[in-house]
Amino acid sequence: MKRFLIMFIAIFMPMAAQLTFAADSGDAAEFVEFAILPDEDTSSDCTQRGGMRVFVINAHPDAIIDLQIDRYFSDVRQAGRSMFALAAGHRQPLGCNTVMDSEQRWELMNAEFITREQGQARYGVIY
């Protein structure tokens, strides 16, 4: 019985710690924000065509978020899905909000908290 208890703790303790972390942090999607900001490069195509740069931001104070984002151009969903890990407090540029005089936007499809090891294994890089 003692051996079984030790095996049980060794197997399920790490899983319980990850579940506790996620529960304490809330829903990852609550910490994902989109921002439309002037492009830092005033000579970029985006700026020259009157558009602004769209960023996705991880607003969580210390957790990495695994993101899945779809892009829409002229209200039509585009093929493919952007998937990447974003570190706490970081932002990632997605593109210009105006392309060929048409609106371009991004929508969050899924967001989950992940560990640094999971992000490295899945994507090789964390932004």
Q: Around Cβ 104, how many Cβ atoms within 10 Å? A: 20
Q: What are phi and psi of 100, to 5 degrees?
A: 50, 45
Coil, strand or helix at 94:
strand
Handedness of CA 105, 110, 116, 120 (dihedral sign): negative
Domains and CATH numbers, the chain: 27-123 (2.60.40)
Is-above-0.85 flag for pTM?
no
Q: Is the pLDDT of residue 46 over 70?
A: yes
Q: Which residues pair with 108 in a beta bridge?
A: 69
pLDDT of residue 49: 87
Place of tokens 């929508």: 107
Compute the average pLDDT of residues 21-41.
Answer: 82
Each residue's pLDDT tens digit, 54-97: 999 999 999 999 999 999 999 999 999 999 999 999 999 999 99
Each residue's pLDDT tens digit, 92-102: 999 999 998 89
